[in-house]
Amino acid sequence: MANTTESGQRGTCWRMAISAAAGVLFAAIGVRAQEQKPGGWTDQEKPIAAALSTLRKLPEDARAKKTKELALEIRALNAASNPRKERLALGLAGLSTEGDPGHEVLQEVATTLARALKEQPQTGPSGMPAMGYVELATLVKYEHVTASLDDPQYAVAVARVEQDDSKRKDANFTLKDLTGKSWTLKDLKGQVVLVNFWATWCPPCRSEMPDLNALYEKYKSKGFVVLAISDEEESKVRPFIEQGGYHYPILLDPGRVVNKEFIVEGIPKSFVYDRDGKLVAQAIDMRTKRQFLELLKVAGME
């Protein structure tokens, strides 16, 4: 997942559901920065950090296999002699949800992150839970993995994720698309609606757009609507969409009003509403065509 500013094109981000101001930390940037500092990664950490920085480049099958291998390698690190074990586990977690590695792989990633947090507890800003606890709570909530961690920060993170989710259920907006047409979410009852937050500079966003467009073309006659929301200026969005040949509505939110209402701090992120206007499914990162289809099935789209 990329963060919600254009600097996100320089690396992969870690989700933060703490506050919009807190922003997102990039695993790949952290890898490079540590490699350049004396006393950075330990000899055991270095090859794992290097593998994280190139994980995105692997084909899907190879990436899933490598993700599981890295989860086990990180878990095996001695926390006493590898002080950045938690950072590596967090970086892997942020990368693991891009695409479809499978539930087994995601479970290994979550187990590794929980273990690293237990061995190397972190402190968050201003009394808020540290990033790792929020990431773990997010994985458990939206990727349906399990985790065991007896830590007050994790309990706070779980409560915060639930609170944010509750707020999104009542969200509504009116935005204009590139043709000038206004779209209001609450007015679309009777249709299955997928709200997708994205940006032109975001690699995971760009990766999922062809599949999203294909699904829109296939199901729009059956009452399927995609509302893709970008916080960029029209001058950047329009040529990108025209060049890509995407046909679903592209909505503009340059003031990030709707992004804030949905508590979007990392993209891509998708929300699916059924024909009764009820929020029934969410995606915290890039999805494949198969994964999108699973989300639509939850909303009653066959």
Residue 60 belongs to domain spanning: 6-167
Q: Position of tokens 């899933």?
A: 64
Question: For 97-148, what is each residue's pLDDT tens digit?
Answer: 998 999 999 999 999 999 999 999 999 988 799 999 999 999 999 999 999 9
User: Is 73 domain-assigned?
Assistant: yes
Same domain, 195 and 215: yes
Q: Are residues 144 and 270 in the same domain?
A: no
Look at residue 1 and tell me if it is in a domain. no
Q: Predicted confidence band at 302 (pLDDT cuts at 50, 70, 90)? A: confident
d(C-alpha 181, C-alpha 190), whole Å: 19
Same domain, 53 and 117: yes
Taking the C-alpha atoms of residue 10 and residue 25, their distance in angstroms, rounded to an integer, is: 11
Q: Based on the structure, what is the number of domains in the chain?
A: 2
In angstroms, rounded to a whole number, what is the distance separating the alpha carbons of residues 178 and 133? Answer: 39
Domain co-membership, 163 together with 183: no
Asked if 135 and 193 sit in the same domain, the reply is no
Cis amide prior to 268 (ω within 30 degrees)? yes
Q: To 10 degrees, what angle do helices 45-53 and 60-76 make?
A: 160
C-alpha distances in Å from residue 65, one per residue of 4, 27, 74, 116, 265 = 29, 19, 14, 21, 28
| 277 torsion bin: left (phi>0), alpha (psi -120 to 50), beta (else) | left
Domain final position from 143, 167, 191: 167
Residues 111 and 247 reside in one and the same domain: no
Query: Is 84 within a domain?
Result: yes
CB 151 within 8 A of CB 121: yes
131 and 267 co-located in one domain: no
Both 215 and 194 in one domain: the answer is yes
Residues 180 and 118 in one domain: no
Answer whether residue 157 is part of any domain: yes
The answer on pLDDT for 234 being more than 50 is yes
Both 39 and 154 in one domain: the answer is yes
Q: Residues 27, 136: one domain?
A: yes
| pLDDT value, residue 127 | 77
Instruction: Measure the CA–CA gap between 94 and 285, rounded to whole angstroms.
Output: 9
> What stretches of the chain show up as alpha helix (H) in DSSP?
27-36, 45-53, 60-76, 85-96, 103-119, 131-142, 152-169, 203-219, 234-244, 257-261, 289-298
Residues 112 and 161 in one domain: yes
pLDDT at 5: 52
Full-prediction pTM beyond 0.85? no
Is the pLDDT at 34 greater than 80, yes or no?
Answer: no
Local confidence band at 33 (pLDDT 50, 70, 90 cut-offs): very low
